[in-house]
Amino acid sequence: MGNDARVKKTKQKLHDALLGLLDKKSISAVTVSELCAAAQVRRSTFYTHYSIPSDVLDELCREHEEAALKAISLSDSHGDYKKMLTAICGIMLDNSRFFSYLCKSSAGLEYLRGIADLSNKFFLDGFFKNTSAPRDDVRFVNRFATGGTLILLNDWCIGGMKEPVPQLVEKLDSITTLLLKQAASGALP
């Protein structure tokens, strides 16, 4: 048990140190030596868990993705876009250092897209239970709205997440709800 706690503490130190280094340089420029020095971890310990610094970043991405999906599923957001967005924005805000780095990198939109694709399944499953709208139209509108939402969430991150989550969610929800209502009513061309 104590060994697991030590491993967790070591990995957390490496995660934190990596995020600090990524404030100053790209992942490809981070060396094992400087990461270990910043984390105050021995190189041999680093190599017990990872091969290269980007492995630490990959682990961070997986952990944050799992946390986001857990928050979405726990929010009971099936069919409720506002709850789903609030859960996603909450995770982003709680982990602002990680998401700020990620959104400034070329991987940011792709990472957010992965979370959106997975969370949309929760949303669409619930939405389809409450409507007889043509599924293809709803999926089309949902993909359109998701693209815009991803860009706006990315911009929110890069801009320092200054806009309060409820305001951001309200804006995104009102636009998406309007479009989905049109799709559900068959008002799309």
The count of structural domains within the chain is 2
Per the CB < 8 A criterion, the answer to whether 45 and 96 are in contact is: no
Residues 103 and 30 both lie in one domain:
no
User: Residue 186 gets which letter from DSSP?
Assistant: T
Residue 87: the pLDDT is 84
Nearest to 25 by CA among 5, 54, 46: 54
For residue 16, give the CATH number of its domain.
1.10.10
Tokens standing for 82? 């506002």
Residues 29 and 106 both lie in one domain:
no
Would residue 108 count as lying in a domain? Answer: yes
pLDDT tens column, 91-141 = 889 988 898 888 888 777 788 878 777 777 777 777 777 777 778 888 888
SS3 call for 164: coil
Nearest to 168 by CA among 104, 108, 81, 102: 81
Q: Which residue has the tokens 């190599």?
A: 47
Residues 108 and 35 both lie in one domain:
no
Would residue 111 count as lying in a domain? Answer: yes
Nearest to 164 by CA among 90, 58, 108: 90
Residues 9 and 91 both lie in one domain:
no
Residues 91 and 178 both lie in one domain:
yes
Domain that holds residue 33: 1-51
pLDDT tens-digit profile, the chain (189 residues): 457 899 999 999 999 999 999 989 989 999 999 999 999 999 999 999 999 999 999 999 888 888 877 777 776 555 577 888 888 888 889 988 898 888 888 777 788 878 777 777 777 777 777 777 778 888 888 888 888 888 899 899 999 999 999 999 999 989 888 887 787 777 766
Per the CB < 8 A criterion, the answer to whether 90 and 165 are in contact is: yes
